[in-house]
Amino acid sequence: MTKEFATAAVPIESSTVITTTEHGLVCGDVEIEIDGFLLPAYRAVEIGKANAPVVIVIPEIFGLHEHIADVVRRLAHCGYMAIAPDVMARHGDATTYENIEVLRSELVSKILDTQVLADLDLVIDWAGTQGGDLSRVGMTGFCWGGRITWLYAAHQGRAKAAVAWYGRLSGYTSANAPYNPVDIARELQTPVLGLYGEADTGIPMDTVKDMQTRLADGTDASNASRFIIYPDAPHAFYADYRPTYRPEPAKAAWQEMLNWFERNGL
């Protein structure tokens, strides 16, 4: 069954919403036990697919809602075991908030980056118990999840490749979120492909240039990382349920993600 869209994400642009079939898939909600906490997640894989490469999908700020679940199904139809963990769930359900500013202040601000990274480690372990091939792990994330994707790439090298969709690169920090991607750009252990929009008013192009400069002066994985910038594309240009959706760059960027995973051994 499909999920609902996040409350704070309305109104939904229903004319452009993509709904990916569940046919041929084992898919749906699961719970991953982590030290007594049941972490909600959405998982999809082709029926009968053994030793599938694994892709972890990190949700946007709206949490694990229907758009993210559909992305998981899209990846499953491409041959991956895809899993989207609700890494915000320790502090509440992001999908139920009606206002994005309240969501940021009451939930997102409480999230510890270190806890999220540790949870992602254990989600990967769980994928292995479900038949996923842990020698072929990828990661991708959108918006809030794009930032986390960059951080995880510096956390450790279990993922062979990562793709960050318009994740914030610099800006504010806090005790719970002390680093931005620019701060760890030279320390990556996984090569990252950044998919960004030139018209994204929240991520100025000078921050992308700063990130590129730092990547060039870092580890081999940092050096191998790169950006693709889509002219006239705003923030969330892949989000087909929002007015920001841009079909052409969205389609092109999706293929670039698949190519990146393939080139890096997934």
The residues assigned a catalytic role are 143, 200, 235
Buried b (16+ CB within 10 A) or exposed e, 89-128: bbebbbbebeeeeebeeebbeebbbeebbebbeebbebbe
**Distance spanning both ends of the chain, measured CA to CA:** 28
Angstrom distance (rounded) from CA 227 to CA 142: 15
**40 cis-preceded (ω within 30 degrees of 0):** no
Contacts of 101 (CB under 8 A, 6+ apart): none
At residue 130, the 3 state secondary structure works out as coil
Which is it for strands 161-165 and 192-197: parallel, antiparallel or unpaired?
A: parallel
Buried b (16+ CB within 10 A) or exposed e, 38-48: ebbbbbbbbee
